[in-house]
Structures are given as C-alpha cells and as structure tokens.
Structure 1
Amino acid sequence: MELRHLRHFVALAEERSFTAAAQREHIVQSGLSTSIRALEKDVGALLFVRGTRPVRLTAEGQALVPSARRTLEAATAARQTVQEVHGVLAGRLRIGALQSTGHTLPFANWLAEFSLAHPRVEIAVRFTAASTMVEQVIDGGLDIAMVALIEDDPAGLDVVPLLTEPLMLACPAGHPLAGADAVRLEELVGERFVETPPEWSIRTVIDDAFRAAGIQRQIAVEVNEWSMALDLIAAGAGVALVPEGLDFGLHPRSTDTVQLVPLIGVQLDRRVDLVLPSGHAATPAARRFAELVRAKV
C-alpha cells in the first residue's frame, strides 16, 4: 500500500469529486482513478460507489478514512521530526477555530507569530462547529483546534484551557429588558430567540439550561454566523444568549442597537480550549503551536 494512494483516497473522500480531488493533488483524473483502483486492489474492497455525484464512499471506504488520515499524518510527523533535528519545522498545520475566537482571543496574532517563526509550515484554518472539530482532531482531519468544550477531559486529547466567559442576554435597544440590571431565565418566557445551530457547543449549554429550568422557548431564526445573529436581534427578530466577549465593534450596525444584559440566578459560561492529540499522536507543528499558545495564556 503506497502513501500516495492513501493521499489520493483521502482527497477524493473529502472533495467528493474526481475533478476537485485531481486538481488538489495536481494529477490528471485518469491518474487519480488508477490510484484509487490500485488502493482498492490492495485492500480487497470497493471504496467508492461508482457513478454517483457527488462521489459517495462505500461502508468500507468510510471505515478506511480515519486510518488513512492517521497513516498520512504519521508519515508527515516522521518527516517533520527528522527536519526538527536540523532546527527546521515544515509541513502542514490544519487548525480548527470558532467564528468568535478572534473576538476574545488574539488568534490572528498567534497565527502570524507562528507563521513568521516557521515559514515552511503551511497553515490552513477551518471554521466549523466545536463538536465537528473535536471529532476531526480525533480522526486526523485536523491537527489542532480551538473549541468550546462541553466535557472536561475528552479521551485521547490534550487540553489547553484558554478562557471562560459568561453568557449574556442580547436584545434590541428598545426591548423592555434592555435597561434591566440583570435578567432571570424565567423572564424570557414567551420571547422569540435567534439561535445558533444545535451542533454548536454554546447551543448545548443554552438548551440544557432551559431544559433544567423547565422552560420552553420559541426559536424564531437559526443562523450559523454571529454577525447575522446580531443583525437579526438589532432588527427586532428576537433575543439571544451570547458570549460576553463578542466584539460588537466588528458589527457596526449592531453597536448602538443591541444591548447586553447580565443573567442572574443561573451561571452560564462558554469555555474555549485548545485541543490536540495526546503525546506523540500530535504532529510536531501542532505541538509547537500549542507551546506558543501556552506561553501566551
């Protein structure tokens, strides 16, 4: 089994298109097809369902993806380890991050410092849901991620705590609760809510809090972007519970039209952590980035 065949397999599994995967790997489509057939011959099973668009994995193909990623990462880590002996860090660093990471943490500054210190490392940042990022770090789809964790000690991962911030009620400036010193969850009965998707960790925290209080809430709009959520609140579409550190300066249309009110009677927090595979399962680049972040927090 050749590494290039595994690399081509992972590219096709992620891109779900022969054209896109071939372009990503800088080969012609016929070469990609030949490589996939060679891998299927090696493993003794079909890995993709033929004739589907987008390209779809078979059950065997789905089972192979995590192992293929880990094998490729192990090979990359081996090369990087040798290069580190000569004082040169190279390769890739795939980082997952929350949309609001840059509001409360100097994420861009950390990336810039790391990039300048290690110019041979190719950095790719992906913004997605925390639960998805944790899974991707575990199965090798990401090298490291800044996430809002729910559980304290995820199996197989090292955790670097970054911050914990309270959630606050965000409401239109003209809302009856806008001038309150604090608000209880019970006072939000009957309100329309602008919410984040169910797979976001902050949504899990909020859902659990309302469930524990025995309160049902009406979700008027669900969006996966904080700027859109703030604009909807400002326009009167509903209220929301948002991180205290959300930077309204990044959303000038909402600066004077949305008010934050502290919660009372319940402590709801969003935590942000840096997670990477434990020990030698982490790539050298991921370990080095974690070292940089640890020195900053």
Structure 2
Amino acid sequence: MEFRQLEYFIAVVETGSISAASRKVHVAQPALTRQMRLLEEDVGTRLLDRHARGIRLTVAGRALYGEATRMLDERADLKTRLLALGSGQTGKLSLGVTVTHLWVPEVARLMGGYRRRYPHVALDVFPLLSGPQLEKLQQGGIDVGIIYHDDHAPSGIKAHLLQRDHLILAVPTTSSWAQLPPTNLAELAGVEFVWGYRSISPVYHDRVVAHFSRLNFEPHVVQYGADNITILSMVAAGLGVAIVPAASRSHPMPGIHFIELDELTTCDMPLWLAWRIGNITPVLDNFIQMAVDIFE
C-alpha cells in the first residue's frame, strides 16, 4: 500500500468514478484502474463495487477511506513540521548574554528581530558573564553566547567577531570628576576603585590588567562587585569609581557619569558571538546569520 495509491483511492471516492478521478489526478484511466486493483490485492479485499453510473464503496472501502484521509493529513502535517525544523522555523535556542550587553541596541535588535522572524522558536536568554558562558557552551548548557574574549577562541569553541569595544571611566554624578574630569589615568592614582573578581571573567580581567600594566597604572581597589551592573550600582552609591566596558553606557543607570579617556579607549575589548563546534542546527545557523547582518 503506497501513499500514491491512497491519494488515487480518495480521488475515486470523492469524484464518484474512475473516469472523473483520472481527470482530477491527471492519470490515464486504465492506469488508475490498475492501481485500484493493485490496492485491493494488497489489502486482500474488494474496496469498490463498480456499476454503470460509477462506483460504490464496500464496507472495507468506507473504513479505508476514513483511515486514508487521516493518514494523508498526518503525513502532510509531519512534512510541514519536519520542514519547519529543518529550516530553523521551529525549535529552541538558548542564548547567553553578558550582563553589560542586555541593553546594547544591536543586541536588543538581534533578540527582537529573531523573535519576530522566527516566532515559533523558543528563545531562552541567560544573563551571564563571559567566564560562566564559556563553561556552559563547552558543557552544552547554552547554544550560543555573546562574550568578551581575546582573539583566540578556546578549544571546542567557534567564534565570530561582532564588534570592538573599549573601556570607560564611571564616576558618581556627585563626584568632582563629573564636573572636572581627569585627562589621564595618572590623576586617578590613590582614588578608591570598585572592581570585579577575576574568577567571574578571567579573560576580561587579565586583558584589562595587562593594559594597565603597560601604562604603569594600578587601581586602588577597595570594593568588589559580582558583575558590571553591580559595580555600577556601587559607584552610583558613592563607594568609588570604576572602569567598565563602554557598552555599559547603554544600561539606564541613574547616578553615573561616564568619562572617556584616551588611555582607556586604546584598550581593545573584542565582543564575540561564540558557539560549540559541531553543534550547528538550523535554528542556531539562522541566529548566527542574523547576528552577523546586524553587527556588520
């Protein structure tokens, strides 16, 4: 029993005759008659009673008509679902985003645009720093991440450069620095800094420290925060100043004044889209392509 034979059988039943069905399915009448006989031989019983004015279904024919209609509908539904999965129209995608970048316009456009284009893909977003993201990527906990990293992706990870960020000074709006900003890092010697723990993002931390070492600058750290948003909230509370990625300006943070310094602008902070090698799916491939288009 073939799906093609079932389609012919349904056409015969619904048109009421072999001749009318042959015109509907564009198959010669003798060939269609032969297919109906083969179908009856396959099921082992007569399905159609032929008479001068057409055909009449037997009891077995009526049962097959109902089942054939259901089977063809299920086949069409399965083909549609498989096509959607194969083209990335449905499925699930888990995305990690550094906390700093949740409000960056390009990231917002990426998440919103992906949701609008692929409304049947479940998009789970996890605000994670770069270190935890890399761990989850390598362990399969997330599918793709937006992370700070150096120019060499770690083992098992493939990455695409999205943009190059730099560092910026954040001070409380109540600070004298907000009205009379420093012109270089040397003026910040001895100033109390809020800093981040190395363990939460080793690559980011080491890149910043290496840059300061080249400038012979060492911040006087008095407070630590778990991520950039926490650090900025501590700055706003007057606990010190901080040096953070320039993308932090995208976050609506009252009480903070940002200052550009040439020595901070020269610290290249590359932002990457990263995913696990061998884990490409249609859903992920669509996301990667959209990210590349938006960040170009």
Change (3 A) 1:180 1:204: farther
Cα RMSD between the aligned structures?
2.8
How far, CA to CA, are the matches of 2:218 and 2:245 in structure 1? 21
1:29 aligned partner: none
Asked if 1:169 corresponds to 2:169, the answer is yes
Q: Which has the larger radius of gyration?
A: 2
Change (3 A) 1:84 1:193: same
1:275 aligned partner: 274
**Residue 259 of structure 1: how far off its partner (Å):** 2.6
List alignment gaps of at least 5 residues for structure 1.
Answer: 1-80
Number of matched pairs = 212
CA contact (8 A) 1:182 1:264 kept: no
Asked if 1:129 corresponds to 2:129, the answer is yes
**Residue 176 of structure 1: how far off its partner (Å):** 4.6
**Residue 194 of structure 1: how far off its partner (Å):** 0.9
Change (3 A) 1:185 1:91: same
Match for 1:246: what amino acid?
S
How far, CA to CA, are the matches of 2:135 and 2:233 in structure 1? 31
Change (3 A) 1:120 1:248: closer
1:239 aligned partner: 241
- 1:58-117 Cα deviation digits (max 9, x unpaired): xxxxxxxxxxxxxxxxxxxxxxx9545764633321111111213334323322322233
Match for 1:95: what amino acid?
L
Q: TM-score, normalised by structure 2?
A: 0.62
Q: 1:292 aligns with which of 278, 290, 296?
A: 290
Work out the percentage of aligned pairs sharing the same amino acid.
19
Change (3 A) 1:94 1:265: closer
How far, CA to CA, are the matches of 1:182 and 1:243 in structure 2? 18
How far, CA to CA, are the matches of 1:164 and 1:172 in structure 2? 26
- 1:165-190 Cα deviation digits (max 9, x unpaired): 22111123454544456533333221
How far, CA to CA, are the matches of 2:218 and 2:107 in structure 1? 36
Change (3 A) 1:86 1:192: closer
1:91 aligned partner: 91
Change (3 A) 1:185 1:111: same
CA contact (8 A) 1:193 1:221 kept: yes
Match for 1:271: what amino acid?
P
Q: How does 1:88-237 map to 2 (within 5 A)?
A: 89-180=89-180, 183-198=183-198, 199-200=200-201, 201-237=203-239
